[in-house]
Amino acid sequence: MIHRQTQTREYWSAYQFTHDDADFLSNLLLEHGAPKALGELTLAVMRHRVEKEAAELRRELEQRTIYQPKKIYRIGEELLFPALQLTSGRVVEQRMGHNPDKSPFDVIVVEMGDGKRREFAANYQWPHRLNDDNFLSVLSEDGEMASPEQLFEDYGAHVSDVIDQGLSLNKEFLRIGPEWFLRALMAEVNIGHLNLAEAVLDVSAGGPLTTHTILQELGLPPEIAGSLQEISLNTALAHDDRFDDVSLDDGVSSWFLRRLEPPEVRNTPQVLKQSRLAGERVINDNLRALVNELDDELDRDLSTPVEPQDSVSLVLTFAHRRAGTLGWSHHVAGVLPTVSKARVPVTFQDRTTGKQMIVWLVHDGLYLYGLGEWYRQNDLPAGAYLELSRSSTNDVVLIDYKRRRPKREWVRVAASRDNRLRLETAQRAVACEFDELMSVFVDNLGALDLLRTETPRDVTQAVREVFPEIAKLSPQGNVHARTLYAVVNVITRASAIDVFAALQANPSFIPVGDYYWHLSEGHQPGGSA
């Protein structure tokens, strides 16, 4: 069968981006009139090359005399041999063939292109696959052609890298995020347009505003299509440090002035800056199960796919209560819109009152900022049960807490005395359901800021300090692991797995069952007797 280069690994492994490929992609983008993703361009190039090879082969077959055993040839005739990878040769001799079972037929002697002579049957009327006139069905080595899509699946990653590099070196093309476009088709967006865009956003309290809304004030050339105007403005804004793309992953760009974004969105609040445990984080299976239950965003495995959820319940921890934030944990991510941008404002709506607020999803810090006022208005303590749920629209998230009639209860209260954390049991009015093991009531949140420094407290030391304070509130002196995690996070931000690893590594702490631990008699939290 005829050997097709585009069907081989060797061909695509040696692929190089050529001027022909660049011209093809230029025409493709010109015809499409919009940017295309690198994968789309790669598949198009691979399909183009496969089709080009097939067309060249068809022309070759149509213009030359194709050798078939059934035909009669004359001396001096030039032949093309499909079964020999389109090798050509000239007929130099002819004689009668001898085969009692398959007579009569002729034998021709052909001088091949390399000078060697070979013999072939002619005037052979018996069935033979080369006597089939449908040559296009036998153009590959195995009789079956791999589609461009299959070739892309097998070799597309390498070809994409080569094309991406080739486009980067070609001034005709322009990278727009994950896509490529033609520079010549872009509308000119100058510094005056950008300054005007800044003014438009400034009037709107920083944004967010869609590209379409901003365009209405800029007056770009009307002869340029609206879609190209948006592409051009998006590209210019993305290359100007004054502007932040804060759009959801829905294809509609939205912009905000960086200087008007909340400082807590640009920089992680001090109370959320993590202290990491030094050394190995080794915990037993029981504590590992509790880590999964607590669902701290600091323990989140970002490689684990997020399953969409209609709603999720969670416990408000002290660090997030103080910062006016929520952790962007694995379960919380299930009710949030898909976001890949660094910072995205989303509307949160109180399910009961209907009041709306802007909450920023901060990707790098894995937290949601903008709930502080809502916490204060509803007098929510650390330990309160919250619920997030999806709404009928992608850009609105519903939030609520478990409301109840206010009543006074004996609760765990934290304060700062002598520059140390102190816990006591006292009565406080509570108007919500809360997790008794994780609740930490604080009369003056700001007073506890003195317990934190620019350098977060070591997790091991924090566990040593906190354990006796919790234990003194229990007649048995037992401390639940959930409580230890919650209270440690009053004085330093630590993940559940770090807290539990520090707990398990200290021989002073003895497990007594059901996630409760006890301080061994004769031991101090810092060492042995």
Instruction: State pLDDT tens for residues 131-169.
Output: 776 654 554 444 467 899 999 999 999 999 999 999 999
List, for residues 251-269, the tens digit of each pLDDT value: 688 999 999 999 999 999 9
For residue 107, give its domain range: 69-132
19 domain residue, yes or no: yes
Radius of gyration, alpha carbons of the chain = 36
How many domains does the chain divide into?
Answer: 3
Give residue 527's pLDDT: 43
112 domain residue, yes or no: yes
117 domain residue, yes or no: yes
Give residue 293's pLDDT: 95
**Do residues 97 and 242 share a domain?**
no
Distance CA 128, CA 319 (A): 82
**Do residues 198 and 228 share a domain?**
yes
CB 458 within 8 A of CB 464: no
**Do residues 159 and 207 share a domain?**
no
pTM for this predicted structure: 0.72
**Do residues 251 and 207 share a domain?**
yes
Give residue 142's pLDDT: 42
DSSP annotation string for 408-475: EEEEEEEEEETTEEEEEEEEEEEEE-B-TTT-BEES-GGGGGGG--SSPPPHHHHHHHHHHHHHTTST
How do 396-401 and 343-350 pair as beta strands?
parallel
308 domain residue, yes or no: no
**Do residues 34 and 73 share a domain?**
no
**Do residues 46 and 169 share a domain?**
yes
370 domain residue, yes or no: no
**Do residues 94 and 117 share a domain?**
yes
**Do residues 122 and 253 share a domain?**
no
Name 34's Cβ contacts closer than 8 Å, sequence gap at least 6: 181, 227, 228, 231
Give residue 279's pLDDT: 80
**Do residues 58 and 147 share a domain?**
yes
124 domain residue, yes or no: yes
454 domain residue, yes or no: no
List the chain residues with pLDDT less than 50. 1, 136, 139-143, 527-529
Give residue 494's pLDDT: 95
Give residue 410's pLDDT: 95
**Do residues 55 and 152 share a domain?**
yes
348 domain residue, yes or no: no
The CATH number assigned to the domain holding 225 equals: 1.10.10
**Do residues 204 and 164 share a domain?**
no
**Do residues 151 and 51 share a domain?**
yes
